[in-house]
Amino acid sequence: MLSPADRDMSRLLNAGDPAPVEWINAEGASTIFLTCEHAGRAIPAALGDLGVAPEEMDRHIAYDVGAEGVARGLADRLDAPLVLQRYSRLVIDCNRPFEAEDCVLTQSDGTLVPANADVSDEERRGRYVEIHQPLHEAISVGLARRQAAGRPLFLVSVHSFTPVMRATGAVRDFELGLLYNRDARFAERLAETFRAANGDVTVKLNAPYHVDDLSDYTIPVHGERRGIPHVLIEVRNDLINDVRGQKEWAERLAGPLRLAAQSLEGTADGR
């Protein structure tokens, strides 16, 4: 029989719950390595529906609408490896450090998440260990293996953003954001190559938000600490909320990404 302490440490994910990580094209030949931290909207069976209405789970608060389709399209067009995360960010946000208040949200864009209101430290850590850590261990292993091979390497994190924030009414009137923190080299180069090929699209750097050590995880940990040129891509989600839009934007992004990477490959430090 389990002791009370053992019950606290019992697993969150059980048979029938999806694995948190999915690899796509793991042996892809591209120098570009793709991640999609907010691809899924699964909820562990043990957490029920989190107390959130089904229609709310279709919103950006639960996952990055369209980002998985764009990321898969890029993996195919670039022959690039892709690591996907399957669980809703309302369970745990896999692009936040454990210490961030919004790693486990009690509300998001005006929607309450009742099941998160009284999450204990132990429950929070369990979500982190079983869902967050496997994703970033997979990314770390994949990047380390490619770095060890001595080839150029570029990290691209694929996301989407909502055109209007329900809670504040804030409007995002542009199509593409390219984000970075301390290292702008790949984002700035991609902005150049994308604009050259897509004159009808408004591209902004560090919008709709800025990357930093507390509001993001993949870029600071896997990009900056490893010295890998990187960019976090944000596509406005009303443009990619169906298969047609996802294919269109994968096509729009693939060529500029390839050109941006190629233009940096021959330099000693990627600059």
pLDDT score recorded for residue 10 = 59
Cα(271)–Cα(262) distance, integer angstroms: 12
pLDDT score recorded for residue 268 = 40
User: Residue 107 CA to chain centroid, in angstroms?
Assistant: 20
Rg (CA), the chain: 19
pLDDT per residue over 127-182, tens digit each? 999 999 999 999 999 999 999 999 899 999 999 999 988 878 888 999 999 999 99
pLDDT score recorded for residue 267 = 55
Give the residue, 268 or 14, on which the prediction is more confident.
Answer: 14
Residue 6 has pLDDT above 90, yes or no: no
pLDDT grade, residue 266 (50/70/90)?
A: low
pLDDT score recorded for residue 11 = 87
250 contacts: CB under 8 Å, gap ≥ 6: 69, 70, 72, 73, 74, 76, 77
- Work out whether the CA dihedral 89, 91, 96, 102 comes out positive or negative: positive
Is residue 109 within 8 Å of 59, Cβ to Cβ? yes
- Work out whether the CA dihedral 14, 109, 156, 148 comes out positive or negative: negative
Instruction: Please report, for the chain, the start and end positions of each structural domain, with discontinuous segments joined by +.
Output: 16-265
Once rounded to an integer, what is the mean pLDDT over residues 39-56?
96
Once rounded to an integer, what is the mean pLDDT over residues 254-265?
97
Quote the percentage of the chain above a pLDDT of 90. 88
- Helices 243-265, 67-78: crossing angle, 10 deg rounding: 50
Mean pLDDT for all residues in the chain = 93
Is residue 228 within 8 Å of 151, Cβ to Cβ? no
pLDDT score recorded for residue 166 = 80
Report the topology of domain 16-265: Aminopeptidase (3.40.630)
- Other Cβ atoms within 10 Å of 120 Cβ, number: 9
Start-end of H helices in the chain = 4-8, 67-78, 121-127, 133-148, 185-197, 218, 243-265
Once rounded to an integer, what is the mean pLDDT over residues 251-259?
98
Cα(152)–Cα(173) distance, integer angstroms: 35
Predicted TM-score (pTM) of the model is 0.93
pLDDT per residue over 186-214, tens digit each? 999 999 999 999 999 999 999 999 999 99
Once rounded to an integer, what is the mean pLDDT over residues 68-90?
98
